[in-house]
Amino acid sequence: MKTENLYTGEKIPKIGFGTWRIGGESLPDPASDSKSLAALRSALELGYTHFDTAEIYAGGHTEELLGRVIQELGVNRKSLFIASKVWQNHLKYDEILCSCDNSLRRLGMGYLDLYLIHWPLAEMNMKEVCRGLNRLVKDNKVRYVGVSNFNVALMKQMQDCLESPLVTNQVPYGLTDRTYVDNKVLEYCRKNKILLTAYSPVKDSKKLLTQTLRDIAAEHKATPYQIAIAWIVQQPGVITIPMSFNVRHQTENLAAQNIVLSPAEMERLTLQS
């Protein structure tokens, strides 16, 4: 398993498992539970250990299902790296503490490995937000803190009031989305030893499936989607959290870490869009 190092020296997998749409989207969808539970079971059985979720996913139901499967399979909690996120309408001190407690209750866990601010809010009080996160770390409910969808200016503001290092910024990133390259977030993260976690790594199939990508995939006897993921994880300081309900696709996504692209192939892919 390819990994990146956190500031403590702890290793985090290059490829994790996202859980958006597990158990529903914005609201719980009990009718999809069987499909969702099967997807989580197969991901755990295939060897995924980093799972990313959020309180807003299916109104908290996603966390419930993830916790349920982990308990049913008897997976050692210490072998997993579990991340969750607090939504933007809970960015006050007491609400952050309450949101974390609720996530832990739904997951059936005593702590989160990573807790992130899901989306920034224009009127949020950054010092109050940091005070809440600092409290969670002190209380051993959260091991690491991070953010999602933050620009460089907001990252700097948060770093100024956090008592522990910011370990990641989770953003959309891939061959079809370079927004967080253009706004200098990736550059800032690398300079400051902050991991960039790429979500939606293979979105927009029509734009993604270029002839260049298809040609390189054929050379490696891989799928174009595997090459798109390999392009991400081969970059230093970058990890990703693809998601699929399909066992074959889960397997292929995880196997993408074993594909070694040449410098020339990396450049061809980078320059194609």
Q: What is the pLDDT of residues 243-263, one digit of tens each?
A: 999 999 999 999 999 999 999
Distance, CA of 25 to CA of 32 (rounded, Å): 10
* 3 state SS of 189: helix
Q: Is residue 272 part of a domain?
A: no
Q: Is 178 exposed, middle or buried (0-12, 13-18, 19+ CB in 10 A)?
A: middle
How many domains does the chain divide into? 1
Q: Is residue 93 part of a domain?
A: yes
Cβ atoms of 29 and 1 within 8 Å: the answer is: no
Residue 273 reports pLDDT greater than 90? no
- Kindly report the number of other CB atoms within 10 A of residue 264's CB atom: 9
* 3 state SS of 81: strand
Q: Is residue 228 part of a domain?
A: no
Residue 205 reports pLDDT greater than 90? no
Residue 6 reports pLDDT greater than 80? yes
Nearest Cα neighbor of 66 from 27, 242, 14, 81 is 81
Cα separation values, 249 from 46, 152, 208, Å: 11, 34, 17
Residue 123 reports pLDDT greater than 70? yes
Q: Is residue 221 part of a domain?
A: no
**DSSP designation for 143:** E
Range of the domain at 189: 3-200+238-244
Distance, CA of 33 to CA of 132 (rounded, Å): 33
Cβ atoms of 255 and 247 within 8 Å: the answer is: no
Question: CA-based diameter of the chain, in Å?
Answer: 54
**Residues with a known catalytic role:** 57
Q: Is residue 60 part of a domain?
A: yes
Report the pLDDT value the prediction gives residue 204, as an integer from 0 to 100.
85
Confidence of residue 272 (pLDDT cuts 50, 70, 90): confident
Confidence of residue 173 (pLDDT cuts 50, 70, 90): very high
CATH code: domain of residue 63: 3.20.20.100
* Distance from the Cα of residue 82 to its chain's centroid: 10
Distance, CA of 141 to CA of 136 (rounded, Å): 5
Q: Is residue 114 part of a domain?
A: yes
Residue 192 reports pLDDT greater than 90? yes
Residue 237 reports pLDDT greater than 90? yes
- Joined together, the tokens standing for residue 9 give 């020296």
